[in-house]
Amino acid sequence: MRRVIRGTCLALFLSVCVRWAGAQVIAVTSPAYRADVNGTTMIQVSASGFKGPLEARSWLPEGELGSDSVVAAVKLNSSGEGSFQFRADRYPHGPITVRIRGTRSSDGSADTCYLQLYNTGGVHWNEGAPKDPPPGAEGMKLVYKDDFDGPLSISATGVGARYGAHKPDHLDFSKIPFADPTPDGPFFQRDTYLIIRADAARNTTGLISSVNAKDATGFTVTAPYYMECRFIAPDAIGTWPAWWVLTDEFKDGKWGQTSDELDIIEAYGGDGPKNPNSPDAYLITPHLWGDHHNGGGSRPVDMTKVGGRGGWAVTPHTYGLLVTKEAIVFFLDDRKVVELPPFPLAVSDPTYFMVNLAAGGGGWPLDLSRYGGAVDMYVDYIRVFQGAARKYADSNSEHP
């Protein structure tokens, strides 16, 4: 993400992506996208040109990771309209997604509408930072935690605040620009969540960085360390949510060009033509910037084969990174999914983190119109641990 270079990184990734064709889409007419719900809510849909019934699904809060559930089979009338009841009390408190999927009559292709809602009731389940460390951080000391349960501390540069609102090296990359914080967005706080909103009408979206753009002061960590972030992100055409780290390249009063970047998750959204369209997979990618060594290459993670098997826009997940002198290990919901050899700067230099909801870039379409022009990413918490840990290979492992 330091530079917008996607093509070669996506070759393997696109093999697990799906593409939906055609102009007809499923739309929700009530309630509004991103609305609050509580108790039983009637959801009305419009799907002209689709075969009935549609299938509505959402994620149930049960067990460690929950499970997908069929909410309703949605019958359509002759005008392509239908409705169903959603019992929000059965589903998680906070951000939830109802997916409504159907098949077009004209060509048999599929479409999915991702209805983001905020459940003011429901089941309190896995919300907020846990008391115990994750398995990958066993034996380490907690050195950073943000549960986003109080007022946000974000400024344009990060000076005088916990986070900066741009890449500190001034290399922002989103087509809808990363914006300074204002009362109207792109950052909001609710319950234990940081909300990052991509808003086409305001032409704003958001990024947070743990160091500032003036002198790179702020939070950094040096290996051995483990960090994790739990969030749910929106799947819309052009959305590009991510959680990632860079080694500190601020030297002699200026930002340099040599650093190691570890993308813990890059997700690519949007049912629609000419998109990566990957609701059930994401990329783990190291970028080794500068001429100090070679390496890199993307590793796709198929979420249908790991843990609860729900996509990144379907239910919140925890994405972890362990960096030691022996290896760099990536986790999904405490399951080890990718292991890489150590890179020189990643295991030696101070490292800072960023979370963002980019919208557009790389020449792909960007269209938030189905969702009223705005979509939300909900970040539940960030934790960082440091120090000696048990051998990383002992961590729970699932290889998709």
Q: Are residues 114 and 190 in the same domain?
A: no
- Count the helix, strand and coil residues of the chain and give each as a percent rounded to the nearest 5: 5, 45, 50
Does 132 map to a domain?
A: yes
Per-residue confidence (pLDDT) for residue 364, from 0 to 100: 76
Q: Are residues 265 and 325 in the same domain?
A: yes
Name the residue range of residue 39's domain: 22-119
What number is the average pLDDT over the span 259-284?
87
Separation CA 3–CA 158 (nearest Å) = 21
Q: Are residues 142 and 288 in the same domain?
A: yes
Q: Are residues 66 and 104 in the same domain?
A: yes
Per-residue confidence (pLDDT) for residue 298, from 0 to 100: 87
Q: Are residues 175 and 321 in the same domain?
A: yes
Among residues 84, 103, 119, which one ends one of the domains? 119
Does 95 map to a domain?
A: yes
Does 159 map to a domain?
A: yes
Does 400 map to a domain?
A: no
> What are the pLDDT digits (tens) for 12-22?
343 334 333 34
Among residues 62, 97, 119, which one ends one of the domains? 119
Does 292 map to a domain?
A: yes
> What are the pLDDT digits (tens) for 199-246?
999 999 999 999 999 999 999 999 999 999 999 999 999 999 999 999
- What are 13's strand-pairing partners? none
Contact partners, residue 216, CB within 8 Å, separation at least 6: 168, 248, 250, 255, 352
Does 40 map to a domain?
A: yes
Separation CA 30–CA 27 (nearest Å) = 9
Does 223 map to a domain?
A: yes
Q: Are residues 211 and 356 in the same domain?
A: yes
Indicate the pLDDT class of residue 7, thresholds 50, 70 and 90.
very low
Per-residue confidence (pLDDT) for residue 394, from 0 to 100: 47
Q: Are residues 107 and 132 in the same domain?
A: no
Per-residue confidence (pLDDT) for residue 273, from 0 to 100: 60
Q: Are residues 386 and 334 in the same domain?
A: yes
Does 3 map to a domain?
A: no
Contact partners, residue 347, CB within 8 Å, separation at least 6: 223, 323, 324, 325, 328
Give the CATH number, domain containing residue 59.
2.60.40.1220
Q: Is the pLDDT of residue 139 over 80?
A: yes
Q: Is the peptide bond before 53 cis (omega within 30 degrees of 0)?
A: yes
State the DSSP H helix or E strand holding residue 251, giving kind and residue range, or none if neither: strand 250-251
Q: Is the pLDDT of residue 198 over 90?
A: yes
Q: Are residues 143 and 160 in the same domain?
A: yes
Indicate the pLDDT class of residue 69, thresholds 50, 70 and 90.
very high
Separation CA 349–CA 356 (nearest Å) = 23
Q: Is the pLDDT of residue 24 over 90?
A: no
The conformation of residue 183, written as its DSSP 8-state character, comes to T
Instruction: Label residue 365 left, alpha or beta by phi (over 0 means left) and psi (-120 to 50 means alpha).
Output: beta
Structural domain total, the chain: 2
What number is the average pLDDT over the span 162-173?
96
> What are the pLDDT digits (tens) for 287-301?
988 855 556 688 999
Give the CATH number, domain containing residue 298.
2.60.120.200
pTM, to two decimals:
0.93
Q: Is the pLDDT of residue 163 over 90?
A: yes
Q: Are residues 48 and 170 in the same domain?
A: no
Among residues 119, 135, 166, which one ends one of the domains? 119
- Other beta carbons within 10 angstroms of residue 310's beta carbon come to 24
Separation CA 273–CA 281 (nearest Å) = 18
Q: Are residues 33 and 82 in the same domain?
A: yes
